[in-house]
A and B are shown apart, each in its own frame.
Chain A
Amino acid sequence: MTDVIETPTPAASEPEPRVRDRADVRRQIKLIVVLALVLLAEVWFKLEIDDPTVAHLFKGPRTKDNPPVEFDGSIVSWVAVGLTAVALLLAVANLYPRGWKGVLIAVVVGLGFYGAFLMWAYADPSGAFAPAMTNPIPGTIRIATALVFGALAGVLCERAGVVNIAIEGQFIAGAFFGSVFSSFAVVSLAAIPLFWCPVFGLLGGVLAGVGVAAMLAFFSLRYHVDQVVVGVVLVAFGYGITSFLLGQIPNDRNDQFNNPELLQSVDIPVLHEIPYIGEALFGQTLLVYLAYLSVPAVWFLLFQTRWGLRVRSVGEHPKAADTVGVDPIRIRWQAVLLGGVFAGLGGASFTLSTGAFDKEMTAGLGFISLAAVIMGRWHPIYAALAAVMFGFLRNLKDQLSILDEKVPGDLLSALPYIATIIAVAGFVGRVRAPAADGQPYQKTD
């Protein structure tokens, strides 16, 4: 999480500021402590390893033609230790750069830590067979798709000043109706070709997401009910209504309502042939490409268009916006409903990429999306990056579940939530919500 350290002063370009204020010193101390801890952990990982031989399966699943490739993991461990040591020296000498260079170093150190950790986790297998490392990208993408859509929904709502706790409710409703629409299209709408049936499912997900969003807007904007209350209740409502409807589907009509046709993957020419990452990134479903496109689209919408300016203004100071003729309630409705589209797509991704709806399918990922919104500082691109990072962590836990004795997977799962608390508590940088987030707006005459 070292990559979210903020650069508060514009004096970044000065080579060595003579007078250092307290914030600057505090930042340096934080950096030194974090990097020293990382270094200690990496050295410990290295020393714990008896036999550094590990195997990987990055090219694809284990087959006869594709056996696990063995290599010496100690190189990775030493490189990681070296990188971290350099960064630590920079920090001690107060030469650690600010801005994007600092972020880049943090990312490199983070990747090194990940490598050293993996070497430790996979070396010296305790069981009879040695598990091989597999490519983390496909699993990350699978989980991160929903998270990114959810985070975009959260950003849109909260930038307009409406707190959206209900992302989880939008997910579960989107997942259910995505499944229902896709199944229904296959069985009852023969006119639709099979390839487009799951796309029809996406439509169902979007309708459900927008439906929940409309309830959020209706109660919080029209009747000024506390937005957190509405959000909490809508999550319960979403769980309840989907479980209820699922329970009412008779077994003999399961095909018609809960047996969705899945989205098929579409290879992007050339790009999907890149070794190692091509297939995972560009041999994906339409929905994943939609997620790639949505992030810059939302950024453009929020920061480059007139509508986006209005959204941000009603989120920061609705009264001022109202004074210059922007109707805050109207803009908030629009933002919440548009957010519902994205949240519904995220929900639909659960069923349309894995299969039949199950009532525990979303497993609190809606709340991780909320966490990503906060970690990403209410900015669509940072929030999406945070969502990808959380997806990566969740996937890491799944991948390491075969090494259960070494790595406490449940504690690893808790990491995104702990990171969010640390971020909110202001231990790493400062996190500030839109000023009017959560406050109802009432026109006064």
Chain B
Amino acid sequence: MAAMSPTPDAVVPETEEEPKGRDLRSWLPTVRDTALAIVLALLVGAFLIAISDDDVIEALDGLFSNPGSFFVYAGDVIRHSFGAVWDAYTALVRGAVGSGSALERTLERSAPLICAGLGVALAFRAGLFNIGATGQMLVGALACGYVGFTYDLPPGIHLVVAVAAGMAAAAIWGGIVGVLKAQTGAHEVITTIMLNQIGRFTVLYFLAKESFQRPGSDNLLSPPPAENATYPTIAGLHLGIPLALLAALGVWWLLERSRLGFEMRAVGANPEASRTAGMSVAKVYIATMAIAGLLSGLAITMTLLGLQQSVTDQVVGSVGFDAITVALLGRATPLGTVLAGLLFGALSAGGLGMQTSAGVPPELIQVVQALIVLFVAAPALVRGLARVRRRRNGDKPERAEQAAAEAKGATA
């Protein structure tokens, strides 16, 4: 929350800025650290699975009550632990990519994660920490859902109008944060957290209204979207999925090829210098948060119009939150976000399989995801744990990090 101090300081995402694409070797440390982080997180997950498995607990009980036959029970503990972990993780893989329907589920879950993650990533690049994907998606869901189930428009047009409504509402919700930041310096972390909660109560308020209530239901539940408003399905996959990839391409173009994107990155790197150079920092903040909102709004249309869900206060689920972790894991780049979104989508779909066939609560995935991001954000820890031998000149990234941290401290 550095920017609470009078000079708005950028929340720099924890990325090692690597020159992109030119040299394949420059990608290697990033890829290696990410892979190590994933493996480590899965190992911790395996430990959790093992110690909470019934057979393992029984064997441990025996171990403590009969210390005499230590080796018999210790063998049992190890055998059952491996069994439980093997069952769970094979179920995870099967649930994620094991069959056509599993793959479909993975992609369906990835699409909103990618879109919302892009919103968070975009804000990161402009030096803004957008925790508000949840609130933006909730408000987007209200608008998109309302258009989806209330009006009766011809096919195609209805879809476009519903998507536009959701995106517009979410963009306004995000834009509020940008305006507050630009006009008053209110820190976006605080305002987005608060707007998330306000969004939740806004949804609850409207869901209690008659116009949002599903006829014949006592729950706070809206009607499902009309047939004409849903994404068309091609080969089992709804149109939202290619749309998510298109959005990633758009964000890439915006960031790397457009004037606004250049200004965003400049403001993200140093708002003071950008202001001195004649850019309107206020304009950049507002535009960034509005576009981030647009992307969150697109994300929720995937859930509503792609999976044909109704609006409830739970409709966003953990997507808004996971979007942050997706963007962090993807190092705030469009390609990285797409890959991270696919990974988290696969984990989420696999978690379902893990629950049904191995009886492991799907919340384990949430733990593993959180750990992945923690480990990715602390590469020095992961390298230490994995005892990666530094190459002779391998100290370089370390030094670069230190220099970056010092620079950060100096600007404060």
A residues in contact (CB < 8 Å) with B: 163, 165, 215, 219, 222-230, 232-237, 239-241, 243-248, 250, 364, 367, 370-371, 374, 404, 408, 410-411, 413-414, 417-418, 420-421, 424-427, 432-433, 435-442, 444
Apart from A223-B381, A404-B208, 20 more pairs, CB < 8 Å: A219-B381, A225-B14, A225-B377, A228-B129, A229-B377, A236-B321, A237-B371, A240-B365, A240-B369, A241-B367, A243-B363, A245-B52, A408-B205, A413-B201, A414-B197, A414-B202, A421-B191, A437-B4, A437-B5, A438-B4
Q: How far is the CA of A424 from the CA of B1 in the complex (A)?
A: 12
Q: How far is the CA of A442 from the CA of B404 in the complex (A)?
A: 11
A219 touches B374 (CB 8 A): yes
CB-CB under 8 A from B402, the residues of chain A are 442
Is B141 positioned at the interface, with any CB of A under 8 Å from its CB?
A: no
**Residue of B194, B328, B364, B366 with highest tally of chain A CB at under 10 A:** B194
Task: Show 14 A/B contacts (Cβ-Cβ < 8 Å), sorted by A.
Answer: A219-B377, A222-B381, A226-B377, A229-B377, A236-B325, A240-B369, A410-B208, A421-B180, A424-B191, A433-B4, A435-B5, A436-B412, A438-B2, A439-B408
B369-387: contact bitstring with A at CB < 8 Å (1 yes, 0 no)? 1110110011011000000
A244 touches B361 (CB 8 A): yes
By secondary structure, the B interface counts as helix
A237 touches B367 (CB 8 A): yes
Report B220 CB to chain A, min CB distance, Å: 10
CB-CB under 8 A from A243, the residues of chain B are 361, 363, 366
Is B405 positioned at the interface, with any CB of A under 8 Å from its CB?
A: yes
CB-CB under 8 A from A427, the residues of chain B are 184
Q: How far is the CA of A230 from the CA of B376 in the complex (A)?
A: 11
B201 touches A410 (CB 8 A): yes
CB-CB under 8 A from B194, the residues of chain A are 367, 371, 417-418, 420-421
Partner of B405, one of A163, A417, A436, A442: A442
Residues from 174 to 231 in B contacting A, C-beta threshold 8 Å: 180, 183-187, 189-191, 193-195, 197-198, 200-202, 204-205, 208
Partner of B409, one of A165, A239, A442: A442
Is B39 positioned at the interface, with any CB of A under 8 Å from its CB?
A: no
A226 touches B11 (CB 8 A): yes
CB-CB under 8 A from A435, the residues of chain B are 5
A424 touches B363 (CB 8 A): no
CB-CB under 8 A from A232, the residues of chain B are 131, 321, 324-325
Q: Which residue in chain B gives the minimum CB-CB distance to A370?
A: B193
Name the 3 nearest CB pairs between A and B, nearest first: A247-B361, A240-B366, A433-B4
CB-CB under 8 A from A225, the residues of chain B are 14, 374, 377-378
Q: How far is the CA of A21 from the CA of B259 in the complex (A)?
A: 42
Is B16 positioned at the interface, with any CB of A under 8 Å from its CB?
A: no
Q: How far is the CA of A367 from the CA of B12 in the complex (A)?
A: 23
A414 touches B184 (CB 8 A): no
B residues in contact (CB < 8 Å) with A: 1-2, 4-5, 11-14, 48, 52, 54, 129, 131, 180, 183-187, 189-191, 193-195, 197-198, 200-202, 204-205, 208, 318, 321-322, 324-325, 328, 361, 363-367, 369-371, 373-374, 377-378, 380-381, 402, 405-406, 408-409, 412
Q: How far is the CA of A364 from the CA of B48 in the complex (A)?
A: 26
Contact A230 to B377, CB < 8 A, known contacts A165-B189, A435-B5, A437-B2? yes
Q: How far is the CA of A246 from the CA of B361 in the complex (A)?
A: 9
A444 touches B406 (CB 8 A): yes
CB-CB under 8 A from B52, the residues of chain A are 244-245, 248
Report A185 CB to chain B, min CB distance, Å: 19
Report B27 CB to chain A, min CB distance, Å: 22
CB-CB under 8 A from A410, the residues of chain B are 201-202, 204-205, 208
Q: Which residue in chain A gives the minimum CB-CB distance to B53?
A: A248
B366 touches A236 (CB 8 A): yes
CB-CB under 8 A from A438, the residues of chain B are 1-2, 4
Report B196 CB to chain A, min CB distance, Å: 8
Report B360 CB to chain A, min CB distance, Å: 8
**Residue of B1, B406, B412 with highest tally of chain A CB at under 10 A:** B1
A163 touches B1 (CB 8 A): yes
CB-CB under 8 A from B1, the residues of chain A are 163, 227-228, 433, 437-438
Q: How far is the CA of A226 from the CA of B129 in the complex (A)?
A: 11
Q: How far is the CA of A232 from the CA of B13 in the complex (A)?
A: 14
Q: Which residue in chain A gives the minimum CB-CB distance to B176?
A: A421
**Residue of A225, A364, A427 with highest tally of chain B CB at under 10 A:** A225
Contact A233 to B325, CB < 8 A, known contacts A226-B377, A240-B370, A418-B198? yes
Partner of B361, one of A215, A248, A426: A248
B361 touches A425 (CB 8 A): no
Partner of B198, one of A248, A414, A436, A440: A414
A425 touches B4 (CB 8 A): no
Report B379 CB to chain A, min CB distance, Å: 8
Partner of B378, one of A223, A248, A421: A223
CB-CB under 8 A from A364, the residues of chain B are 197, 200
A439 touches B2 (CB 8 A): yes
Q: How far is the CA of A411 from the CA of B180 in the complex (A)?
A: 21
Q: How far is the CA of A411 from the CA of B200 in the complex (A)?
A: 10
CB-CB under 8 A from B370, the residues of chain A are 233-234, 236-237, 240
**Residue of B187, B201, B318 with highest tally of chain A CB at under 10 A:** B201
CB-CB under 8 A from A240, the residues of chain B are 363-367, 369-370
A440 touches B408 (CB 8 A): yes
Q: Which residue in chain B gives the minimum CB-CB distance to A404?
A: B208
Q: Which residue in chain A gives the minimum CB-CB distance to B207?
A: A410
CB-CB under 8 A from B185, the residues of chain A are 426
Q: How far is the CA of A248 from the CA of B358 in the complex (A)?
A: 12
A425 touches B180 (CB 8 A): yes
Report B213 CB to chain A, min CB distance, Å: 14
Report B67 CB to chain A, min CB distance, Å: 20
CB-CB under 8 A from B321, the residues of chain A are 232, 235-236
CB-CB under 8 A from B202, the residues of chain A are 410, 414
Partner of A244, one of B183, B201, B364: B364
Q: Which residue in chain A gives the minimum CB-CB distance to B367?
A: A240
CB-CB under 8 A from B377, the residues of chain A are 219, 223, 225-226, 229-230, 233
CB-CB under 8 A from A444, the residues of chain B are 406
Q: How far is the CA of A219 from the CA of B377 in the complex (A)?
A: 9
